[in-house]
Chain A
């Protein structure tokens, strides 16, 4: 069974630009969550989607947004990039039959903002 796939794996942007990251969950998983990982703050919850609906959002500004498609694939977008947005962005999926915290992560998209 293929795992969570994230693209692109690495990208470099400049301040003020925007970026879109993509995530394909494990086949059959309908819940997709996004996390930001930085050396200073660790892993922080961004948002979670289930059946194309955002169910919850973490403490991030409105520049961070996302969506989920009918095939459960998800994208997140960051607009007006700031230097502090440099981070590893991780996508995680969960089986819709579980009501547990077992999340399976992808390899992440490493964003560098110059």
Chain B
């Protein structure tokens, strides 16, 4: 079993929809949680960063971490065709914060 599980999709939604992306993990030592967006043939771009549990909002994006359930989510409001990309969750522990463990990524397609 992988340390971080993420549904690969693809997830296809109409423009304007609310998108929910999720990851589950098994290592209770994880304290740092990130979401990256990766366009085709590009490097991952950091979208959201959260330390420990709680919510964080940035524009149309909201990240949630539930450490008791070992579950993290990324919500995208008013989705746009330009949001079409692969979304990767990543996490790391306090004593090895430089070593990110990634989910496999979810492909998102926002239809105009």
A4 to B46, CA, bound (A): 13
The secondary structure that dominates the A interface is strand
Within 8 A of B (CB), among A15-70: 31, 33, 35, 42-45, 48, 50, 55-56, 58
Distance in angstroms from A88 CB to nearest chain B CB is: 8
Number of contacting residues on A, CB 8 A? 27
Asked if B68 CB lies within 8 Å of chain A CBs, one says no
Q: Size range of the interface on B? A: 20 to 34
Output the residue of B91, B97, B101 with the most chain A CB within 10 A.
B97
With A42-B105, A48-B99, A55-B98: A101-B45 Cβ-Cβ less than 8 Å = no
By a beta-carbon cutoff of 8 Å, the part of chain A in contact with chain B is: 4, 6, 31, 33, 35, 42-45, 48, 50, 55-56, 58, 90, 94, 99-108, 110
By a beta-carbon cutoff of 8 Å, the part of chain B in contact with chain A is: 32-34, 36, 41-46, 49, 51, 88, 90-92, 96-105
